[in-house]
Amino acid sequence: MNVKMKGSRGAGAALLFISIAVFIVYTYFLFGTEWSMLMLQFTALVAVAILLTVLGWIGYTMLTAPREEEKQG
């Protein structure tokens, strides 16, 4: 088996198990503690921050992109 394939499969397995563990912890904090409203507010804040970061990145890229010269003739 290719060494690169083993590394990517291991990383994939780690990402899978980490995401499942984080989901379980998030669910516990959302439904099992008094921190549920804070968790919802934090989740909304992160979602909006990611969206605005992507929009800002697109705007910055458009702003700093070199102008294309028009072809004549």
Which tens digits make up the pLDDT trace of 6-44?
779 999 999 999 999 999 999 999 999 999 999 999 999
Q: Is the torsion defined by CA of 62, 64, 66, 67 positive or negative?
A: positive
Q: CA 7 from chain center: how many Å?
A: 22
Q: What is the DSSP letter of 43?
A: H
User: Tens digits of per-residue pLDDT, 45-61?
Assistant: 999 999 999 999 999 99
Distance separating alpha carbons of residues 37 and 30, to the nearest angstrom: 8
Q: Say if CB 46 and CB 53 are below 8 A apart.
A: no
Closest CA to 27 of 40, 14, 11, 15: 40
pTM: 0.70
